[in-house]
Structure 1
C-alpha cells in the first residue's frame, strides 16, 4: 500500500470531546493539515467509541488524513482505521502486527527508551514515539524523555514522533532534533481556531 510520508502534525483527540464537538474539531484539524489523526478515548462506553470512530474515519477519508486508533485493534479493524498506536501496557508489538496485517499502520510508544524503539522496529512498527518531551497536562505523571532520543535511533530509518506538552513555540527545537511527527492534544484542540493552529504546525514542516 502506498502511503504519504509520515511527517507533520499528528493530532490526538482529547478525552473530553465526543459526538458533534469531537467531529467538528477533528474536521478542523484535518482540514488544517494534520497528517495523522489519532482517536484516543479510554473513558466512554464501547457504543459511543464505535460511533465516534466511524465518524472520524469518514472525516479523515475526505481530508486524506491517516486515521489511527489508540490501543484498540478490534475497534480499528471494525471502523476501517489505517492503524493502531500502542503503549507498553497494550500488548506486544509483534502480536499487534500479526493481528493488524502487514498493510496497517502500527505506532509504538517508547517513552524515554531507545531499546524499546529498537524492539518495536524489529517487531514491524511503522513509527516510534518518544515522550513526554515536556510537562503534559494530558498525562501529568508521564516521565520526561530526552530530546536526544530522536538522533539516537535515526539509524532505524523509521519516522520518529514527539509527544507530551508540545506547543507551537517548542515545536521547532523538536523538529531540529529529528522529530518527524509532532503529536499534539491541548495546544491544538484548545486553540480558538483549530484549523489555523493546525496550519501553523504544518508550515513548520
Structure 2
C-alpha cells in the first residue's frame, strides 16, 4: 500500500445540495489541498449511495486521491475504492479487515485509548478520533478532549486523524497533539469557496 497523506481529510455531506454542485465542491476542495476523501452519506439508500460514490470516485481517480467509503464495505469493494471507514457501532474492526482484505485502507473511529489500541490490533491503517470540537454534522458524537486526543495518539503506532467541528479558527488548538491530519465536513462542504477554504485549513494544519 502506498503512503497515504491524511493531512486534509474531507468527509462528504450532500444534504441540500444538487448533485453537480456537490461534485464541484469535491473537485475544488481537492484542488485546494484535500488529500483523501470519504463518502459518508448516512441518509442515502444503497443504490443512490452507490451512484454518488461512483461519481466521486471519477473525481478522486482523476487527481489520484484515495477514496474511502463510510461503513458500507460492499460498496467499497464493488467500486474498487481504496478503503472503508467504520465506527464503533458499525461492523467489528477485525471482521471489516477480513472482508476488505489486506490491501485496502481501513479506518476506525475511536474515542478512548482502549478503542484505539483495539483498532490497531484489528488491522486499522488509521484512527479517526473525536469529536475534538462541537459539531453539528454528527450531533450524537462523543466528545474527546485535546488532552485525551494526545493520549490516544501516544498509545498507537498508526496515524490518528482529528475529527469533529474543525474549522480554520480552531485548528491551532491541536498544536502539540501530534495529529496526523484533520478531518472536516462543514468547513469545506458549506464553504462559499471550497478551494480557498481547503487551502486555508491546510495552511493552518501545517502550522501545528
Report Cα offsets for 1:12-50 as digits up to 9, x if no partner. Answer: 111404622221111111121111111011212322211
Query: Structure 2 CA distance, aligned partners of 1:176 and 1:127?
Result: 19
TM-score (norm 1): 0.93
**Contact in 1 for aligned 2:25/2:194 (Cα 8 Å):** yes
Alignment gaps of 5+ in structure 2:
none
Q: Is the 8 A contact 2:7 2:35 kept in 1?
A: yes
Distance 2:63 2:173 in 1: 28
Specify the alignment match of 1:74 in structure 2: 74
Q: Where in structure 1 do 4 or more consecutive aligned residues deviate above 6 Å?
A: none
Partner of 1:148, secondary structure, is helix
Work out the CA distance in 1 between the residues paired with 2:147 and 2:68. Answer: 26
| Contact 1:150–1:178 (CA under 8 A) maintained in structure 2 | no
Alpha-carbon separation, structure 1, partners of 2:150 and 2:139? 25
Question: How far apart, in 1, do the equivalents of 2:115 and 2:91 lie?
Answer: 13
Separation in 2, partners of 1:155, 1:43? 34
8 Å Cα contact 2:113-2:155 kept in structure 1: no
* Alpha-carbon separation, structure 2, partners of 1:45 and 1:24: 22
2:22 is the counterpart of 1:22: yes
CA distance in 2, matches of 1:116, 1:8: 22
For the structure 1 residues 80 and 175, does the alpha-carbon distance in structure 2 shift closer, same or farther, using more than 3 Å as the test?
Answer: farther
Q: Which residue of 1 aligns with 2:140?
A: 141
Aligned pair count reads 203
**TM-score between the two structures when normalised by the length of structure 2:** 0.92
Deviation (angstroms), 1:3? 2.6
Say if 1:57 and 1:80, in contact at 8 Å, map to a contact too.
no
How many Å separate the matches in 2 of 1:2 and 1:127?
A: 14
Equivalent in the alignment of 1:41: 41
What CA distance in whole angstroms lies between the structure 1 residues aligned with 2:45 and 2:165? Answer: 27
Q: Which deviates the most, 96-105 or 138-147?
A: 138-147
The 1:18–1:87 alpha-carbon spacing in structure 2 relative to 1, beyond 3 Å, is farther
The offset of 1:155, in angstroms, is 4.5
In structure 2, the CA distance between the partners of 1:48 and 1:37, relative to structure 1 (3 Å rule), is same
Other structure's SS at 1:177 match: coil
Which has the higher mean CA deviation after the structures are superposed, 37-46 or 69-78? 37-46
Q: Which moved more, 1:46-55 or 1:15-24?
A: 15-24
